[in-house]
A and B are shown apart, each in its own frame.
Chain A
Amino acid sequence: MGIKAVTPGRFWLTTAIAAGVVLAALFVLPLIGSAHIDYWRAFAGKSPDAEILFYARIPRVLLAFLAGGVLAVAGTLFQALLRDALATPYTLGVSSGASLGAVLAISAGWQQIAGIPAVWASAFSGAAITLFLVLGLASDGRRMSSFTLLLAGITINSICLACILFIQYMANFEQSFAIVRWLLGGIDAVEYSTLAWLAVVTLPAIVYLVRRAREWNLLAVGEEWASARGVPASRLILVGYLTGSLVTGSITAFTGPIGFVGLIVPHALRLWLGADHRLLMPASFFVGAVFLAACDTVARTILAPTEIPVGVITAMMGGPFFIWLLRSKRRSLWL
């Protein structure tokens, strides 16, 4: 057995199957929960089924879809960009920046900034500031390499984490609790307008990343490899970093950091599909979406009415699954 060639037929089939699973999940997952509901009563507008379905569960599943999809694609991208199998959407500091912003807002007691919740606005600003800080540190004139990007990213990451620890240490008990809750990450039911706004920012970026899949293939091999094939590596690294950080920052501002999705989904799919980003990126998006939505469903039901942070579930469910996958595939693929 080897790695199958990527053809248009295989691309559409893989994407269609993955998208089909997402659709199926969209119908099934909202039904699961402590309160029993059914679609007939919900669509007939009967209370409380309609409220639970349309204002609690569906928005939450949709946010999990978006967050899981985006984090998985960003993980795939950063692994290629840095040629580092252990890279995640958070490696380059953007989520620590978002967290620092959120933590600042919580500890300062800000409620609203320009009409939107202060924690979101502050987290997004934090992500944006870190993004440009890393960029400024990493680029030397117009040139940029994966290596300097990685160093700048992890340095800024550490500084942000240190600031978060400091603020948390200085905060009072109540704020400290809120900070910890935010840092654990989690999916909440948000308004449809918020979801639409997030989708408008992230989905075109994801499509753009998929369209450049052949270039990520080149970069995953090496910078000279890409440059010698007419694709200037430093520009590509810049574009990839900006796009990946933009989507990660937007999502993290709403959900807080959710680990493991961006690491495990790309790797599991590489074992199935090979490393070609034309298959890997769309598949990562859909599988990441279903994975996080499923984990979130478990997180809100398994100890109901207590909710477990979804990041705990992603690692607890994803870890053993990945170990199983690794062991069963190891013989057929060279590892």
Chain B
Amino acid sequence: METIWFCLVAVMIAMYVVLDGFDLGAGAVHLFVARTDAERRAVLRSIGPVWDGNEVWLLAGGGTLYFAFPALYASSFSGFYLPLMVVLWLLILRGIAIEFREHVQSLVWQPLWDAVFSLASALLAIFFGAALGNVVRGVPLDRAGTFFLPLWTDFTIGKDAGILDWYTVLVAIAALATLVVHGALWIALKTEGDLALRARRTAARAWWGLGAAVIAITFVSFRIQPHLQASFQARPWGYVFPALALAGLVGVRLMNRRLRELGAFLCSCLFIVGMLTSAAFGVYPYVLPSNSDPALSLTVSNAAAPLYGLKIGLVWFIPGMLLATAYFVYTYRSFSGKVRT
């Protein structure tokens, strides 16, 4: 039962990264890809009807994590206190920037919110990447299963590591590159003309950086977190996840070159899902490993809520998510096609 909820939470998080990922990525490249006010407006219109719904996956995923793994929720949210608060501030500023940009027509109003939107989006991608890096690396859990990390110390990955060390910064860069490619492919898919052309070129250029970052973090992750290797050796079928990621990564390149916009975007989705599931598979059964004593790690069993809650949770979660999927299909269908510039 715990493993089912581990998979469900992983799916929720993966959905969040795939969906909100494209609007975060679109934000990160917003200032460079879209030059004129009309183009920037087109970028915002391409995410306008969906960004809020995409962010709901974060809230619903967080809520699911909360009731299925309360000990993990409590430990990680308080341990990552400062970066999470910064994430909240960025989410606030970004949401306001998207919603309020069009309310006033002025030569200072739009550029201001464009800058806020873009900067906040890029920083969010970086923070989410660093968070993932921390989960893979492990944190200094105490006997009560709690910890507190400063934002940074000396950027080494020893016992006194902060939230940002060279490894997590590397993962953060990889996350930014991932979402830049993802977001640029979304803009290419949803817009036309010069804007779409520039977006496609941005994706093609950033792809090289992404490839390099992926090779680097794959290599380093296996050295820093020995449990990853143990997981893949114990259950070799798990290699299917990194294989998916690799297929997605190569697919992005091929599809983008052949101007298959939808295909390229879907390959990017596949790549993100492959990377996240690889990480989840590699870390399992840990949900938050300790970087000092493995015995102190939080696992699916010692962090999970009692059985009754998990069972009854399935009873409403499944129909609830089926409904949510129906809304999701409705929203994206009514919003299909390109945005007119």
Q: Do A and B bind each other?
A: no
